[in-house]
């Protein structure tokens, strides 16, 4: 066998990846990845965040090693929220996959950001599985982009619901989102504003690149769960910091990341919370080290910034499934 790279390195395209990486499969892959994290079996370096202010764009580079997983993925993802106005998707990316035993690459995944979108949605579903009420009727969505879709699709793998109430700052994109979700079988309707979404939601999902709070603490209700995924790089914020202070259960995917640039960062900066006020990292709950929801009256918030071990887990899954 050659010890050098050749032009024969398999390139796996998005269409092929979609055949094996479904929302239901991704939820279970993420469940095991977060369990490994809770058990201390993940090795995660700091994220590289690169901003392109002139284009309102950003790049994120993430990687991690998971003990027992045969591959390591290095993921580059981009986010350019103005792209839909150009007829382009708001996010893209690819993953380079390496053998964890030899360092040699078995494949390059040209997923156009699909695997990132899917694993992010699956993490949100896992958070809701442990923190939301067992029975829900209405999912509230703030945002109308890719994650507004993937969060709902993955959540449907762990909770039964049909009603979606959504709001987005852009009316045309909100209308398109509701139309798309109705085509997928959901009863999706637009709300007049973010407050109306909060008032209706059993589970609230925030998915925007906002740099100013969209959700106020006084809008949160007993029994409500919030999954916040938009604040994934410095300067972003979807929840007023008082929301985190109001929550009975505050869960993060990775404390180091959330304290630096997640929703948690703003509450810490405002001296509303300390590290002791964070109930747990999500992995600790999935590993059985900390409880999830214990009361129907609790307000819970999951602050999710996306962690490199999620990329390694989903990439290794698809490479093995396609081998």
| Cα dist from 262 to 63, 99, 118, whole Å | 18, 31, 20
Residue with tokens 């708001």: 90
* 296 φ/ψ angles, rounded to the nearest 5 degrees: -70, -10
Contact between 206 and 279 (Cβ < 8 Å): no
Q: What tokens appear for 237 in the block?
A: 């914020």
Q: What tokens appear for 56 in the block?
A: 């309102």
Select which of 62, 75, 236, 290 is catalytic: 75
Among 50, 41, 47, which residue's Cα sits nearest to residue 62? 47
Among 130, 176, 185, which residue's Cα sits nearest to residue 152? 185
| Cα dist from 292 to 53, 136, 139, 181, whole Å | 39, 16, 19, 29
What's the CA gap between 8 and 6, in Å, rounded? 5
Residue 75 is a catalytic residue: yes
- Within the chain, strands assigned E span 11-13, 42-43, 48-52, 57-66, 71-79, 91-99, 107-110, 138-142, 163-167, 187-190, 203-206, 211-215, 225-228, 237-239, 249-252, 280-281, 300-303
Annotated catalytic residues are 75
């Amino acid at each position: 066998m050659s010890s050098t790279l050749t032009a024969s390195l398999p390139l796996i395209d998005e269409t092929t990846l979609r055949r094996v990486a479904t929302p239901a499969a991704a939820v279970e892959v993420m469940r095991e990845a977060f369990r490994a994290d809770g058990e201390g079996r993940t090795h995660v370096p700091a994220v590289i965040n690169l901003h392109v202010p002139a284009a309102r764009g950003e790049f994120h580079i993430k990687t991690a090693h998971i003990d027992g997983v045969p591959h390591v993925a290095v993921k580059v993802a981009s986010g350019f929220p103005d792209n839909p106005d150009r007829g382009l998707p708001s996010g893209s990316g690819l993953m380079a996959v390496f053998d964890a035993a030899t360092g040699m690459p078995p494949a390059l995944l040209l997923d156009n950001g699909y695997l990132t979108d899917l694993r992010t949605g699956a993490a949100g579903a896992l958070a809701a599985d442990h923190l939301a009420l067992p029975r829900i009727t209405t999912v509230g969505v703030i945002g109308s982009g890719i994650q507004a879709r993937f969060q709902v699709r993955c959540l449907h793998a762990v909770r039964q619901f049909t009603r979606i109430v959504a709001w987005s700052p852009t009316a045309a994109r909100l209308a398109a989102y509701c139309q798309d979700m109705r085509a997928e079988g959901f009863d999706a309707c637009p709300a007049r504003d973010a407050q109306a979404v909060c008032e209706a939601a059993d589970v609230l999902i925030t998915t925007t690149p906002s740099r100013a709070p969209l959700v106020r603490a006084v809008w949160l209700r007993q029994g409500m769960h919030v999954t916040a995924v938009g604040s994934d790089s410095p300067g972003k914020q979807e929840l007023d910091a008082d929301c985190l202070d109001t929550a009975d259960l505050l869960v993060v995917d990775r404390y180091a990341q959330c304290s630096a640039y997640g929703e948690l960062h703003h509450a810490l900066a405002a001296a509303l919370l300390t590290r002791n006020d964070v109930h747990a990292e999500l992995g600790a709950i999935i590993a059985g080290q900390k409880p999830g929801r214990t009361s129907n009256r609790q307000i819970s918030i999951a602050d999710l910034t996306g962690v490199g071990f999620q990329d390694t887990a989903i990439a290794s899954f698809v490479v093995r499934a396609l081998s």
